[in-house]
């Protein structure tokens, strides 16, 4: 009986990661830009965010992302920062970043969110399925009749 419960439990383990597949990209210049979006390339637009300095518990800034899913802020000190972003449907993320020095001009990188290619997601999913069934077949062959 316990083997029959193993497969459903194994299939349920990665569900929280699949449900909240959110990625981010940080660009630093005179302002720091955190572009947040889904793995398919859609931005997390008009979503609520909180910005924290270091380990502080009171937010440095609160607001909503813009139409491109960006949080833009001018840090007042270098060091660790934390950005929490979430949408109305529960998707979101909690990201840590390090600001080198505030207000230092640099060559900004593009702030677009790079999506994961569909073929890569498909191959990964198929690999997981074959791996799980291969493991179950191996366990079934080793068990005494």
Structural Rg of the chain based on CA atoms: 21
What architecture is the 21-114 domain classified under in CATH? Sandwich (2.60)
Q: How far is CA 6 from the centre of its chain?
A: 28
Residue-wise pLDDT tens digits, 87-99: 888 888 898 999 8
- How do residues 54-80 score in pLDDT, each as one tens digit? 889 999 999 999 999 999 999 988 999
Mean pLDDT in residue range 114-131: 85
Confidence of residue 120 (pLDDT cuts 50, 70, 90): confident
pTM exceeds 0.85 for this model? no
Q: What is the largest CA-CA distance in the chain?
A: 70
What's the pLDDT band for 45 if we cut at 50, 70, 90?
very high
Task: Determine contact, residues 35/27, Cβ cutoff 8 Å.
Answer: yes
φ, ψ at 122 (rounded to 5°): -65, -45
Residue 83 has pLDDT above 90, yes or no: yes
Contact criterion met (CB below 8 Å) for 11 and 132: yes
| Count of beta carbons in the 10 Å neighbourhood of residue 35 | 24
Q: What are phi and psi of 133, to 5 degrees?
A: -70, -30
Contact (Cβ atoms closer than 8 angstroms) between residue 23 and residue 38: yes
Contact 70, 83 (CB under 8 A): no
- pLDDT-derived band at 106 (thresholds 50, 70, 90) equals low
Greater pLDDT, 61 or 12:
61
Is 82:95 a contact under the CB 8 Å cutoff?
A: yes
List the domain boundaries for the chain.
21-114, 116-145
């Amino acid at each position: 009986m316990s083997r029959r419960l193993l497969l459903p439990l194994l299939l349920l383990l990665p569900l929280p990661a699949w449900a909240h597949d959110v990625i981010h990209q940080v660009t630093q210049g005179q302002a720091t830009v955190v572009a947040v979006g889904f793995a398919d390339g859609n931005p997390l637009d008009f979503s609520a965010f909180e910005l924290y300095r270091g380990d502080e518990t009171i937010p440095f800034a609160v607001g909503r992302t813009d139409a491109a899913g960006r949080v833009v802020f001018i840090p007042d000190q270098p060091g660790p920062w934390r950005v929490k972003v979430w949408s109305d449907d529960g998707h979101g993320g909690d990201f840590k970043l390090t600001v080198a020095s505030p207000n230092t001009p640099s060559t900004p990188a593009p702030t677009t969110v790079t999506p994961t290619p569909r073929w890569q997601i498909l191959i990964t999913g198929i690999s997981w399925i074959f791996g799980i069934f291969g493991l179950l077949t191996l366990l079934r062959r080793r068990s005494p009749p």
